[in-house]
Amino acid sequence: MLPRDQAIAHIKNAITKTYERKGQSVVDKNFAAVDGTLARLSEVKVPAAVSSQIEMPPLVPGDAPAFVRAVTARMFAGLGDERPVSLIPADSTFPSGTSAFEKRNVSDIVPVWREDLCVQCGQCSFVCPHSVIRSKYYNDDKLAGAPASFKSAPVNARGYPEARFVLQFYVEDCTGCGLCVEACPAISPREAGVKAINMADKLPILEKERANIAFFETLPVNDRARVDFADVRGVQFLEPLFEFSGACGGCGETPYLKLLSQLFGDRLQIANATGCSSIYGGNLPVTPWTKNAEGRGPAWSNSLFEENAEFGLGFRLAADKHLSLALSLLAGAGRA
């Protein structure tokens, strides 16, 4: 874009302007860094045709929705600009819940469950910033066909004699923050430093966990009408409708969004303010806000910066108007 000598001159002028107050030795060291970089530059010739024999795995599974395969996956590959406008819906809406297809595998270490030590308290799934820890309970006859590596334990609450408890980790979505281990209160009385959850290398267990997750997803979601979610233990059995966000590992904000989605489900309405929550919550190509088996999920909309309170007030006024209209229609129907 600029002749080499001219570009280097501009760089060194910028260095001088920035560092001359700190002394000539500092300026000279920065000059040396520039010169050293130039001395080590070498041209990398890109072959005209691909010669590698390595088969890259698909970015999304073959059973992903058509839009995810045709558009979202190409955006994952950094080739979104190649997609024709004709593939975008006319109203510009994108499907929700697409973060579930983005297996980032950012961590080499992941949590591993010791079911013999677990007290089934739900603290680990409660603090997980990325919804990668899921709990279900179910009758033990549902274990038919489970992989040999699939773990479960008898439910330790009274009144569930034939029920099993399972804690499943979505290891490819885990960021390795370790908050689950920090929160786990179940400590082995015999093995020093061992808890019911411990971090371990992911690679040796990856394929087994993929099979375990596939089986876990065949188990029905627990009916929220039959779950006592007045405490953390019960909340863990509620389906999260906010999952696998691209937030930083150990994020302190996303566990609360996940909790809101569990407590209020598809009745949740969010007036979001621009910031981290708009980046991990509604940034293409994926969104972590998802939907249940009925195709319903939270209503999320973003407002610019500080006026989201006024924006949310509009939600409230609309809901109140809907209620008053419904009541008036019911009253009219009663008189008829």
Instruction: Look up tokens 């969010």; give the residue.
Output: 270
Mean pLDDT along residues 12-21: 96
Residue 129, exposed/middle/buried by CB under 10 A (0-12, 13-18, 19+)?
buried
pLDDT tops 90 at residue 335: no
- Both tokens assigned to 230: 């007045």
Mean pLDDT along residues 177-189: 96
pLDDT tops 80 at residue 231: yes
Q: How confident is the model at residue 68 (pLDDT cuts 50, 70, 90)?
A: very high
Mean pLDDT along residues 190-212: 96
Report domain extents, the chain.
Answer: 109-310
pLDDT tops 80 at residue 26: yes
Residues 136 and 166: beta-carbon distance below 8 Å: yes
Mean pLDDT along residues 157-174: 90
- Both tokens assigned to 91: 């109203």
| Average pLDDT score, the chain | 93
The pLDDT tens digits of the residues spanning 31-49 come to 999 999 999 999 999 999 9
pLDDT at position 283, please? 85
Give the Å distances, CA to CA, from 46 to 246, 247, 295.
32, 35, 46
pLDDT tops 90 at residue 336: no
The pLDDT tens digits of the residues spanning 69-127 come to 999 999 999 999 999 999 988 888 888 999 999 999 999 999 999 999 999 999 999 99
Residue 139 backbone class (left: φ over 0; alpha: ψ -120 to 50; beta: rest): beta
pLDDT tops 80 at residue 334: no
- Both tokens assigned to 99: 């973060």
C-alpha closest to that of 268 among 291, 230, 297? 297
- Both tokens assigned to 175: 């960021």
What's the CATH fold of domain 109-310?
Alpha-Beta Plaits (3.30.70)
pLDDT tops 80 at residue 159: no
pLDDT at position 24, please? 95
The pLDDT tens digits of the residues spanning 257-271 come to 999 999 999 999 999
* Dist CA 297 CA 163 (whole Å): 29
Q: How confident is the model at residue 274 (pLDDT cuts 50, 70, 90)?
A: confident
Least confident of 55-64, 145-154, 176-185: 55-64
